[in-house]
Amino acid sequence: MSRPRTGRRTGAVAVASGMLLLGGCGIQGTDVIEAGGPATVQAFVDHDTEMLLFFHSRDGGISPVIRYPKSTVEYGPDGGMVSEQNSAGQGSTDQDGVPVPTEKVILALLSGPDDDDRKAGLSTSLPSAPSAGTLRVKVSPGGETVTTELPIALDGLDRTGLRQLFCTIAYSHDENGRATVRLSGTDGASTSGTCDLDPTPSRQP
Amino acid sequence: MTSGTGRARRTLGTRVGRRRAVDDGTAPKDAPAGRAPRRTADDVPSGRARARAFGLRTRLVFAFLLVAAVSAGTTSALTYREARNALLKTAQDTAVSSFRDQVQQTGWALPVREEGLEEVLRDMARKGKPHPWVVFAEYGSVRASSGENPVSTVITPELRRAARAHPNGSFERVVKDGVPYLTIAMPTVFKAGPESVLPSGLVVYAVMRMTDEQINVEALLAAARDGALPGLVIALIPGLIAARSVLRPVRELRKAAQSMGSGRLDTRITARGSDELADLARTFNESAAKLETSVRELREAEARARRFASDVSHELRTPLAGMLAVTEVLDEDAERLDPDTARAVRLVSAETGKLAVLVEDLMEISRFDARAAELNTDEVDVAQTIGKTLQNRHWTDDRVRTDLPPGIRARLDPRRFDVVVANLVGNALRHGGAPVTVRLRGEARSSGPSVLVTEVADSGPGIRPEVLPHIFDRFYKADAARTRSAGSGLGLAITLENVRLHGGTVRAGNHPAGGAVFTVEIPLHLEEADG
């Protein structure tokens, strides 16, 4: 009787393997599969009239926002805060075709997210700018390095805050954000870095 | 045992005739064996039916079907998988690229404002390709969708993590409650400068039910299954043919072996091809040929031996006849000789007579062995025949009692029946004790024809049980001490052969009241023609 039993076992194995083969029937779930690049959305930045500020969202990521400088503050030559009304149509900067100065952009960043930004859940890791201070921006002859003297202390800043500064300054100075940024604070501390947000492969070292 | 009267009545066959009879003896010997296969063939079906349940044919067909099932199953499964994957890939690629296009064609403000976002998403949802989808947007803490819930329950954390970690489009197929969904995550970037893009922080998700794909895949599955099943049915045909090609030689072999067993040693199988079965057939043929040779040699040797015995007894006959004539003359003259010489002459005469009986019996038994003995039947009154036998032997005194109801008629060979009765009565008188009783009766049998029963009972001590099985053997001495028997030692053997020739049986036994009883049963063929 061992023969028939072997036959039966063989049959069972055949049926089982058949079930296995046809087992992957229907549509199964998959892992996460990468499929092409991201969507490049139409959000052009006009560097002559608009600023690119970098805030961070709740998950720790850095998100750029486009800000039209409706009203900006600026440190005057004497170091005090100067308010400049820049109503649409008669603002001096946009008519000149000159990019928004980096000093202005930094002060806008330091003044923190506005209502829209906050509604979208964005915040900053930077302290707000003191009412009086020095903000100086120097560009190296080749334009690769931007040295900035900040009116705040660098010591208490975390990594996110520094990235906010690096990216904002780099993209303010250069549309492609490739410049190396050197920062020095009121406390004498200094650091340097680049903005590493661009996912284009050629930009990665 | 055989009486002198019996001997005298025997006719001497010519030597040539005897020889031929011995030679021909092989031919009828095969005849009963030839009937044997019919009996064995009747035995086969029950065994065959049991063997067939998992017989060679079943196993071969089963193996074929198994192979076919595996190959058809594998092929259709692989085909199905490829087709399904291609189908799904097309749907997914279409969905991902069209979703990317839609996201790109939509204008976004940075930061993304929650107001109006749902309208934008609903607009995108309507343009879903290949099917409408539900669009979700996540930016900072903003969560919006084109559907009812701002956050999808289908999108997995893995997909979210992947979209946040790498700015690449990605998708994941999720089966939730048996419904397959395609979830696409599309992180967005924007052009910060002519040569640079920046992740905007906005990730748009699309969730699409793959209902049509599911239907198509099910159709594919049905097609694969329906394609495999006819394949199996078709595989049955070569399976049966292969089983046949194997089974036919096996069947031939079985028939050949059967016919060999029934004595047809010249059976051979035609060996076709050069496979193992043909080898087997050739081996069978070789063995059969060797067996045939051996059997033929054996038969020839046996025939030679038989012929030798027959020849010897025949050659002894002529000188014995002369010696008998001389001893008769000497017997008559014995009275005139001196007593010692007279005793010697009588002894020689008696021994010569015994030798003549022995030679006659030997010739008779070799005739049986050669199957040359013929039955010359005649319808007779059995009681009369027995009475004549006893009278001829002068057994009419009170040593032999008879119980012979008259009127029982049977078809017998009177000469052979005479020998049977004479041998049995003579044997009883010699080894048993007087009085000897001969009884005759007809007996109806429930199965078969009625029989004629002849009983010869003596009043001696009976036959010892250990002797009973051998009582009809040739030259068997019931008493080992008595090496010289009064008879030839062939009397009962000849009786047995004669009864057999009539188609009857003879039994030896002991009567409960003492004495040996020999029972002869011969079928009564009164109504039948002489066979």
The answer to whether residue A80 is domain-embedded is: yes
pLDDT at residue number B460: 85
Probe site for chain B from A32, A166, A174 (most B CB atoms < 10 A): A32
With contacts defined as CB-CB under 8 Å, which chain B residues touch A6?
none
Q: Is residue A27 part of a domain?
A: no
Half-sphere exposure of A5 (CA within 13 A, CB side): 2
Which residues of chain A does B70 touch, with a Cβ-Cβ cutoff of 8 Å? 14, 17-18
Nearest neighbour of B170 by CB, restricted to A35, A175, A198: A35
pLDDT at residue A71 greater than cutoff 60: no
Kindly report the length of chain B: 531
Kindly report the length of chain A.
Answer: 205
State whether A29 and B168 contact (CB < 8 Å).
Answer: no
A63 contacts B139? CB cut-off 8 A = yes
Q: Looking at residues A23-29, what average pLDDT do you find?
A: 70
What amino acid is encoded at A186 in this protein? T
Residue B22 makes CB contacts below 8 A (sequence gap 6+) with: B303, B306, B307, B310, B366, B370, B372
Q: Which residue of A has its CA nearest to B95?
A: A35
pLDDT of the residue at B486: 61
State the pLDDT at residue B47: 47
Min Cα distance A80 → chain B (Å) is 30
Residue of chain B whose Cα is closest to the Cα of A30: B173
Q: Do A119 and B214 touch (CB under 8 A)?
A: no
pLDDT at B290: 92
Set of chain B residues whose Cβ sits within 8 Å of the Cβ of A177: 192-193, 196, 198
What's the mean per-residue pLDDT of chain A? 75
CA distance A182 to chain B (A): 21
Which sequence spans correspond to the domains of chain B?
A: 4-34+268-369, 378-523
Check CB contact under 8 Å for A38 and B188.
yes
Q: Name residues 205-234 of chain B within 8 A of A (Cβ).
A: 210, 213-214, 217-218, 221, 224-225
Residues of chain A in contact with residue B159, where contact means CB-CB under 8 angstroms, are 32
Question: Does A32 contact B202 at a Cβ distance shorter than 8 Å?
Answer: no
Asked whether the beta carbons of residue B169 and residue A10 sit closer than 8 angstroms, the reply is no
Contact across the interface for B217 and A27, Cβ inside 8 Å = yes
- Cα Rg of chain B (Å, integer): 53
Name residues of chain B where pLDDT drops below 50: 1-47, 49-51, 482-483, 528-531
Inter-chain residue contact A45 with B193, CB threshold 8 Å: yes
Q: How far is Cα B113 from Cα A120, in angstroms, rounded to an integer? A: 7
| Domain contains A148 | yes
- Residue A3, domain member (yes or no): no
How confident is the model over A31-66, as pLDDT tens digits? Answer: 888 888 888 887 667 777 788 888 888 777 788 888
Look up residue B456 and give its amino acid.
Answer: V
Which of A1, A21, A116, A167 would best serve as a mutation to test chain B binding (most B beta carbons within 10 A)? Answer: A21
Structure tokens at B225: 């299954």
* B148-159: b (≥16 Cβ within 10 Å) or e: eebebebbbeeb
Question: Which has more confidence, B11 or A190?
Answer: A190
Q: What is the helix (H) or strand (E) element at residue B217, kind and residue range? A: helix B211-261
Helix (H) or strand (E) holding B29: helix B26-34
Separation of alpha carbons B196 and B100, rounded Å: 19
Distance from CA of B198 to the nearest CA of A (A): 5
Non-local (6+) Cβ contacts of B85 within 8 A are none
Can you spell out the DSSP letters for B30-79? HHHHHTHHHHHHHHHHHHHHHHHTT-HHHHHHHHHHHHHHHHHHHHHHHH
User: CB–CB of B114 and A120 under 8 A?
Assistant: yes
pLDDT at B464: 85
List helix spans (H) across B108-172.
117-126, 157-165
The angle that helices B26-34 and B36-52 make with each other, rounded to 10 degrees, is 30
A26 contacts on B by Cβ (under 8 Å): 180, 214, 217-218, 221
List the 83-142 stretch of B: residues with Cβ below 8 A of A.
84, 88, 92-93, 96-97, 100, 103-114, 139-142
Pairing state of beta strands A39-41 and B179-193?
Answer: parallel
- Which amino acid type is present at position B343? R
Residue of B nearest to A123 (CA): B140
161-180 of B, contacting A, C-beta below 8 A: 162, 164, 166-175, 180
Chain B residues within 8 A of A31 when measuring between CB atoms? 158, 172
Distances (CA, A) of A149 to A108, A171, B371: 15, 17, 141
pLDDT at B454: 92
Number of domains in chain A: 1
Q: What's residue B300's pLDDT? A: 93
CB-CB neighbors (< 8 A) of A3 in chain B: 54, 59
- SS3 at position A40: strand
Pairs of residues, one from chain A and one from chain B, whose beta carbons lie less than 8 Å apart? 226
Question: Between 3.10.20.30, 1.10.357.10, 2.70.98.90, 3.30.565.10, what CATH number should domain B378-523 receive?
Answer: 3.30.565.10
C-beta atoms surrounding B35 within 10 Å? 10
Q: What percent of chain B has pLDDT over 70?
A: 86
Give the distance from residue B144's alpha carbon to the nearest chain A alpha carbon, in angstroms: 11
Condensed to tens digits (0 to 9), the pLDDT of residues A123-152 reads: 888 888 777 777 888 888 877 888 888 888
Chain A contact set for B142 (CB, 8 A): 119-121
> Residue A178 has which token pair?
């490739």
Domain with A70, as residue range(s), is: 51-203
Instruction: Output the CA angle B477-B481-B485, nearest 5 degrees.
Output: 50
A196 assigned to some structural domain: yes
CB-based contact B93 A35, cutoff 8 Å: yes
Q: Which residue of B has its CA nearest to A22?
A: B77
Calpha distance B439→B498 (Å, rounded): 19
Cα separation, A45 vs B196, whole angstroms: 11
Q: Could you give the CA distance from residue B173 to residue B88 in angstroms, rounded to a whole number? A: 10
Q: Which residue of A has its CA nearest to B167?
A: A38
Chain A contact set for B66 (CB, 8 A): 10-11, 14
ipTM (interface predicted TM): 0.77
CB contact under 8 Å between A4 and B221, yes or no, is no
- Tell me if B290 sits within 8 A of B9, measured CB to CB: no
**What's residue B506's pLDDT?**
92
Residues B374-416 pLDDT 10s: 888 888 888 899 999 999 988 888 888 888 888 888 888 999 9
CB distance A4–B93 less than 8 Å?
A: no
Distance CA B463, CA B474 (A): 17
